[in-house]
Amino acid sequence: MKKLVAPLLATALGLTLLSATPSGAGPGPHAPSWHAAWGAAPQLPATGFTPNWSQEGFSRQTVRQVVRLTEDGDHARIRLSNAYGTSPLIVTGATLARTDTGAAVEPGSVRHLTFGGKRSATVPAHGELRSDPAALGLRRLESVTVTLYLAGTTGPATFHSQAWADTYRAEGDHRADVDGRAFTARTQSWYYLSGVEVSGGTLPRQARKGGVVLFGDSITDSFGSTPNADRRYSDALAERVDRPVVNAGIGGNLVLNDSAWYGERSTARFRRDALDQPGVSTVVLLQGLNDIGYSEAALKPDPQPTYKPSPVVSSAEIIAAYRELIGAAHDRGIRIVGSTLLPFKGTGHWGPTAERTSAEVNHWIRTSGAFDAVVDFARLLADPEDPKALHPAYAYADRLHPNDAGYRLMAEAVAPLV
């Protein structure tokens, strides 16, 4: 019997994956066991929700990015993505260090990364590349800083639009700087960096628990959470479960259609962004509200131009896509937890068709038994005075996304299921 929590693939993307790490291939008894400790889903260079550097790219500049790990380890490696690059990406050099404050890092913690034994690397167009392992003791829920020096001109950059954390840029080569004074420019997006993976650590290999991937759109991506405070849905879950958590949400993403601004459809990116994460055992799926709501938003005065495509979709189409994702996960021996769509009355996504379709989708999620478990966010976050709307205590200003308290409540409900 499937477990229900109430209130309380597709194919790969034609992606070239290279591993500069010798241990990446061998499953032998002495090979390191790698786990994804942090991740971000790559996106096509685009305007995004806030100003970013993806379309201009980089030239003779250093990019410093801060990410919070959800697993400990004594070795780490990074994963770089050039998935949407049309030419090879040349990384002149890269470092990994423990984060201090802002763009500064802890003295003595800087490690120069290598790729196949060399400090420089080339990531093919439409490809990915992992670094060699670097020896650096890391703790769960601490932040690390990844710094890339890009001496050449990159052109538009594969990125992740919504980081909810500052990324820093300096002119010239500052990859090994301990202080952050040279990093005078900042945005809140991540560039080229799509993963940090760890091995070793305090637990023996046999005691490691499988990782969790949160997969979805802007709610999974934690739109509306407090920047630079690690209050995302994924952070809140990582604080409540003793296992790695990777956030594979993309703001604005759709289940059924590709978007020039908000990434490839979920059925196209599911394998890369969720199933291929090393050590993953469970995926939590929360997606479909944009597919349902964009057609309503297109009818409003001054519609958001990035809400395209915006066809009217049926519950049957969304459910068919869910079944495809469930099948892809089960084919890999990975559990998949379904999440009902959150209440959204009073938002630009609301309308009679969207109301009916979301109700049909949520009924199927609750009753079909297709998922390995279900978490009922629709009931959990509903306003008692109007269950079709988000509870004011858990709603961000737009009434479409949760606030920090809402993301914590979601994490509390998911934690027993993963």
pLDDT at residue 31, rounded to an integer: 62
Distance between CA 282 and CA 279 in Å, rounded? 10
The Cβ of residue 4 has, within 10 Å, a number of other Cβ atoms equal to 16
pLDDT at residue 50, rounded to an integer: 86
Token code pair at residue 192: 């080229």
pLDDT at residue 203, rounded to an integer: 64
Tokens 């034609």 map to which residue?
14
- Give the bridge partners for 67, in sequence order: 144
- Give the bridge partners for 95, in sequence order: 112, 147
pLDDT at residue 206, rounded to an integer: 54
pLDDT at residue 9, rounded to an integer: 31
CA distances from 283 to 258, 315, 320, 372 (A): 21, 22, 18, 10
- Give the bridge partners for 4, in sequence order: 374
Question: What SS3 class is residue 118?
Answer: strand
Per-residue pLDDT tens digits of the chain, which is 418 residues long:
343 433 333 333 333 344 454 333 334 445 679 999 999 999 999 987 889 999 999 999 999 999 999 999 999 999 999 999 999 999 999 999 999 999 999 999 999 999 999 999 999 999 999 999 999 999 999 999 999 999 999 999 999 999 999 999 999 999 999 999 999 999 999 999 999 999 997 765 555 789 999 999 999 999 999 999 999 999 999 999 999 999 999 999 999 999 999 999 999 999 999 999 999 999 999 999 999 999 999 999 888 889 999 999 999 999 999 999 999 999 999 999 999 999 999 999 999 999 999 999 999 999 999 999 999 999 999 999 999 999 999 999 999 999 999 999 999 999 999 9
**Radius of gyration in angstroms for the set of CA atoms belonging to the chain, rounded to a whole number:** 21
Contacts of 214 (CB under 8 A, 6+ apart): 220, 233, 234, 237, 245, 246, 247, 248, 249, 283, 284, 286
Buried b (16+ CB within 10 A) or exposed e, 217-249: bbbbbbbbbeeeebbbbbbbbbeebebbbbbbb
Distance between CA 113 and CA 21 in Å, rounded? 11
The Cβ of residue 54 has, within 10 Å, a number of other Cβ atoms equal to 23
Q: Which domains does the chain have, with CATH numbers?
A: 3-13+208-417 (3.40.50.1110), 34-196 (2.60.120)
> With helix as H, strand as E and coil as C, how does 262-329 read?
CECCHHHHHHHHHHCCCCEEEEEEECCHHHHHHHHHCCCCCCCCCCCCCCCCCHHHHHHHHHHHHHHH
pLDDT at residue 204, rounded to an integer: 59
* Alpha-helix runs per DSSP H in 211-259: 218-221, 233-238
pLDDT at residue 5, rounded to an integer: 39
- Give the bridge partners for 285, in sequence order: 215, 338
If we measure between CA atoms, which residue out of 300, 311, 393 comes closest to residue 349?
300
How many contiguous H segments (helices) and E segments (strands) does the chain have? 8, 24
Q: What is the Cα 36 distance to its own chain's centre?
A: 12
Answer whether 214's CB lies under 8 Å from 237's CB.
yes
Token code pair at residue 140: 């769960």
- Strand arrangement, sheet containing 3-5: 3-5, 373-375, 335-339, 280-286, 211-216, 245-249
The Cβ of residue 360 has, within 10 Å, a number of other Cβ atoms equal to 16
Question: What SS3 class is residue 193?
Answer: strand
- Give the bridge partners for 336, in sequence order: 283
pLDDT at residue 410, rounded to an integer: 98
- Give the bridge partners for 38, in sequence order: 196
Element (H, E) at 11: none
pLDDT at residue 51, rounded to an integer: 93
